[in-house]
Amino acid sequence: MNIIVDMGNSRVKLVAMHSARVVGEHIAEDATREWLRDVVAQYSDAHRAIVSSTRGDAEAVAAMLGELGLEVLCFRPGVTPVPIVNGYLTPESLGADRLAAAVGVDALYGEGNKLIVDFGTAITIDYVVDGVFRGGNISLGMTTRFRALRDYTARLPLCGATEQQLPYGRTTREAIEQGVMQGITYEIEGYISAFMQEKAKKYIIFTGGDAKYFAKRIKNAIFADCEPVIYGLNRILDYNAEIR
């Protein structure tokens, strides 16, 4: 059994996996020593762990897991071996979540080219082509766009996601809602249109907290009910055990 710790911008997720299957999931704002101890104690068969962070404090959490008797891998893109080729020119600056998602998607869907769209605080659009992580683009996430309109204007209200699909807003609130939601939709549809022109087997995978809002709006996409980042981190942990 493996322990996967994914430390994102707003929360920490600890997942227990056995034979690439999730058997337990726990979420907290911070990975405190007490929280880690209490959660890990529930999985007596766990012997290995991997820690990934976009916050920069992965080593401290890895040390605490080590104190609990686990063999711990601290995932660092550009340093930690991964089972796909990393074609990013600056691997030291690559977000761990982006590379882990690429590994997870490549393992889940097998042969073919993949376009991965992660709808989070930022929207990342990444490509795995011929088993190589090629890189991608980063733009503002949905909630970040709504907050920016409120924070950087004098009179616009803070709005949020909507299920409505209108050609144009009839009120200021509708204009903001449709502007953000439709703006993201058209943005991603542009990436998909270019991607679909390639002559190869293709997969378009949506993931992240806000993916559910766009899976209904955009055709041709697979809404990943499993989490590619978690699956990828588990695969990276197993891969490093295999090559030792």
Residue 236 lies in a domain: no
Residue 56 lies in a domain: yes
d(Cα 235, Cα 197) in Å, to the nearest integer?
Answer: 30
C-alpha torsion sign, points 45, 50, 52, 58: positive
Question: Which residue is catalytic, options 6, 30, 38, 97?
Answer: 97
d(Cα 187, Cα 89) in Å, to the nearest integer?
Answer: 25
92-148 confidence digits (pLDDT tens):
899 999 999 999 999 999 889 999 999 998 999 999 999 999 999 999 999 999 999
Does residue 97 have an active-site annotation?
yes
Helix (H, G, I), strand (E, B) or coil at 65: helix
24-68 confidence digits (pLDDT tens):
999 999 999 999 999 999 999 999 999 999 877 889 999 999 999
Residue 157 lies in a domain: yes
Query: Could you give the number of structural domains in the chain?
Result: 2
Residue 129 lies in a domain: yes
What residue spans of the chain are helical by DSSP H? 33-40, 58-67, 96-109, 142-151, 172-196, 211-215, 228-243
110 and 218 together in one domain: yes
pTM of the model: 0.90
